[in-house]
Structure 1
Amino acid sequence: MKHSFIIFILIYAFNAKAQSFKNPESLFDPTPYGFSHASSVKTAGELIYISGQSGGLGKEHLLSPDFRTQPKTALENLNVILNSYQLKPENVMKITILIVDHSSEKLKIWEEEISKVWKDKSFPASTLIPVPKLALDGMQIEVDAVAFKAY
C-alpha cells in the first residue's frame, strides 16, 4: 500500500510539471492580452488538434450579430470539446484566433472573454489573425486549438 501511494505521488508530480508556459522578462508581458509567449510539454501523452470553433450556438449554429457573444460562444464550444477528452482550458497549449474586421475594440473584448476562461492567467501560446471573411456569413470569430493530455 505504501508503494502504491508513493507511485501515485510520483505520477501526480510528473504530470503536474508536464506543461509549462513561458513569458521571458526581457519581452513584453502578454498576459493582459490573453496569451503566453510559449508553451511546452515534457511528457508522453496525446496531442488533441481542435478545429476552428466559431461563435455559432448549438447544433443549429446560431450566430449572434453581437461580437461579444461570438467569442464567448466559441470559447464555450472549445470547452465542450475539451470536456469530451476530460480536459480543461489549462491543457490547451496553442490557440489561433481569426477575427473578421479586427479592431482594438474587438481585441479588448477577446481579451476580456479569454480572461474569464483562463482565470489563473496561464494562457496558451497564441496567434491572432485578422481576416476579411470566414466560412459562413455572419461568422465574426473562429478559434482553433492544440491541447495536450498527459498519460
Structure 2
Amino acid sequence: MEKNKQPKLINPAELFDPGPYGFSHSIAVESPSTMCFISGQSGGVGENHVLADDFKTQVQDALKNLHIVLQSHSMTFENIVKITLLIVDHNQEKLEIWAEEARNVWKSSFLPTSTLIPVSQLALPGMLFEIDAIAVKQLAN
C-alpha cells in the first residue's frame, strides 16, 4: 500500500464514540476504488445508545446509523457490496421485518451479498439487531 493511501478511520460525530469499546465505526481503504469496512451498527440512538424495545424500530434505527456512516464516506446504500446481519432469537417474523426494511433502503435491483447469523444475545442488554457492511466506491480517473 502506498504511503499516502493508508486506511482512513471515520467515526461520525452523530454516532457514539466507539473508542472506549475497542473499535471504529468504519475504515476506508483507497486504491483504484475506495473500500469502506463498517462496524456493526445497532438500533442504539444517540450518545447514550438508547435502544427501542421492539425489533422493527431497532432495525430502522440501525439502518439510519448505517446511513450516517455511509454519508460520512460520501456513499449510499447502493455502494454496499456485503452485509452481515446478527439477529437475536431469529424467526420468520423477524426475517420478514428485515426484508421489508431492506426493500425500503435498497430500491434498485443491486442488492448486497448477505450473511444472516442467528444469535442468543448481542453486546448490550436489549440489543436485538446488528448489521455490518462493506461498501465500495470507484475513484474518478
Does the CA contact (< 8 Å) of 1:51 and 1:144 recur in 2? yes
Alignment deviations for residues 91-147 of structure 1 (CA, whole Å, 9 cap, x no partner): 000000000000000000000011100011321000000000000000000000000
Letter of the structure 1 residue corresponding to residue 122 of structure 2: L
**1:58 maps to 2:52:** no
- Structure 2 partner of 1:120: 108
In structure 2, C-alpha distance between the alignment counterparts of 1:45 and 1:121, rounded to whole Å? 22
Stretches of structure 1 that go unaligned for 5 or more consecutive residues are 1-42
- Structure 1 partner of 2:87: 99
- Taking the TM superposition and a 5 Å limit, the aligned residue runs for 1:66-105 are 66-105=54-93
**1:47 maps to 2:35:** yes
TM-score using structure 2 length: 0.75
Does the CA contact (< 8 Å) of 1:55 and 1:69 recur in 2? yes
Give aligned-pair identity as a percent: 52
RMSD across aligned positions (CA) = 1.1
How far is 1:57 from its partner?
A: 1.2
Alignment deviations for residues 75-105 of structure 1 (CA, whole Å, 9 cap, x no partner): 1100000000110100000000000000000
In structure 2, C-alpha distance between the alignment counterparts of 1:60 and 1:74, rounded to whole Å? 15
- Structure 2 partner of 1:39: none
TM-score using structure 1 length: 0.70
Structure number with greater CO (CA < 8 Å, separation at least 6) is 1
Stretches of structure 2 that go unaligned for 5 or more consecutive residues are 1-30
Give the count of matched residue pairs: 109
Higher helix share: 1
Runs of 4+ in 1 over 3 A off after TM superposition: none
In structure 2, C-alpha distance between the alignment counterparts of 1:59 and 1:120, rounded to whole Å? 32
